[in-house]
Amino acid sequence: MSVRKIDQKEAEDFFIVINQYCEQNDGNRWPHATIVLSAVDSNLEGPTSHNVYYNESRGRHAESFFIDDLQTLLQKEGVTEITATLVQNYSPCNANHNDIERCADKILKFMKDNIEKKNVSFSLTIQFANFYKCYYKKEDEKWKKSPHINGLVKLRKNGVALQLLKGEEGWNDFFNKFVDVSDEDKTRLRERAALRIDRENVDEIILNYVETKASAEAKVEEHVAEANVQDVTDKLEKMTTKDEW
Ligand SMILES: [Zn+2]
């Protein structure tokens, strides 16, 4: 089955952004929309399903259309297992001017309300080329408070794998799989992607922060849950031994 691909210009303008967010991008504006490429497998027979999703102009975000398709798959008879990989130009958002589209929350809500309830085993990996609205500065830690970064922490904490689309191998793989481009133009895209090395190192720092924070928060929550159980057990013990029934 053929994979739906994006064109060379979309790869260049939306994915291969050279500078960090908010820094001058070669005179180009930062992309104002998200493109999501998906690869979905399930226990049902059939080839991997591939799709490309775009934002609705001033409306729903690309991720939300992916969730619609996931819902359709979930309603099929006999689905017990779903594995999905998304490749996006931006990481999922978690706040918005009208506060309707918060993709990180939307994904998590869908996992909880729909997938978990149906007892379907689900694995989701989100790979992205650029952090959405993350103004990283080494000497200023404000970026750590970004709602979008915290949305990623929430996703990670709930088992969603996060990966950066980066490095020679990563970009090569991306061009081969998802971009409809001639060999000659592929070389040009490769050269452009290689200019991102510095910012990709910075992205690595941001992702490490997300991973570390997610695992620290998960540990704290586990302790709190354990403490509560212990608390109840202690109380019950006291009640039973002191005849306080
Ligand atoms: Zn969004």
How far does residue 140's CA lie from ligand 1's centre (Å)?
Answer: 25
d(C-alpha 167, C-alpha 193), whole Å: 8
10 Å Cβ neighbour count for 174? 22
What is the structure's pLDDT at 15?
96
How far does residue 102's CA lie from ligand 1's centre (Å)?
Answer: 5
Q: What percent of the chain has pLDDT over 70?
A: 93
What is the structure's pLDDT at 237?
78
Summarize pLDDT for 229-240 with one digit per residue, the tens. 877 777 777 777
CA angle 102, 144, 29 (to 5 degrees): 65
Lowest-pLDDT choice from 2-6, 36-40, 75-79: 2-6
Per the domain annotation, does 237 fall within a domain?
no
What is the structure's pLDDT at 1?
53
Per the domain annotation, does 231 fall within a domain?
no
Per the domain annotation, does 87 fall within a domain?
yes
Per the domain annotation, does 245 fall within a domain?
no
In the predicted structure, residue 40 carries a pLDDT above the cut 70 = yes
How far does residue 55's CA lie from ligand 1's centre (Å)?
Answer: 8
What is the structure's pLDDT at 27?
63
What is the structure's pLDDT at 229?
80
What is the structure's pLDDT at 242?
62
What is the structure's pLDDT at 30?
83
What is the structure's pLDDT at 57?
85
Segment (H or E) for 42: strand 35-42
How far does residue 21's CA lie from ligand 1's centre (Å)?
Answer: 16
Per the domain annotation, does 104 fall within a domain?
yes
What is the structure's pLDDT at 135?
87
How far does residue 93's CA lie from ligand 1's centre (Å)?
Answer: 4
Range among 140-149, 165-174, 219-228, 235-244 with highest mean pLDDT value: 165-174
pTM of the predicted structure, to 2 decimals? 0.90
What's the mean pLDDT in 185-206? 95
d(C-alpha 122, C-alpha 145), whole Å: 29
Give the tokens for residue 172: 């090569």
Per the domain annotation, does 1 fall within a domain?
no
What's the mean pLDDT in 125-147? 92
**Number of domains the chain is built from:** 1
Per the domain annotation, does 224 fall within a domain?
no
Per the domain annotation, does 126 fall within a domain?
yes
Summarize pLDDT for 7-20 with one digit per residue, the tens. 999 999 999 999 88
**Structural domain harbouring 125:** 6-217
Summarize pLDDT for 67-120 with one digit per residue, the tens. 999 999 999 999 999 999 999 999 999 986 666 679 999 999 999 999 999 999
How far does residue 85's CA lie from ligand 1's centre (Å)?
Answer: 17
How far does residue 20's CA lie from ligand 1's centre (Å)?
Answer: 19
Residue 198 sits in a domain of what CATH number? Answer: 3.40.140.10
Provide the pLDDT confidence category of residue 59 given band limits of 50, 70 and 90: confident
In the predicted structure, residue 58 carries a pLDDT above the cut 90 = no
d(C-alpha 17, C-alpha 89), whole Å: 9
What is the structure's pLDDT at 173?
96
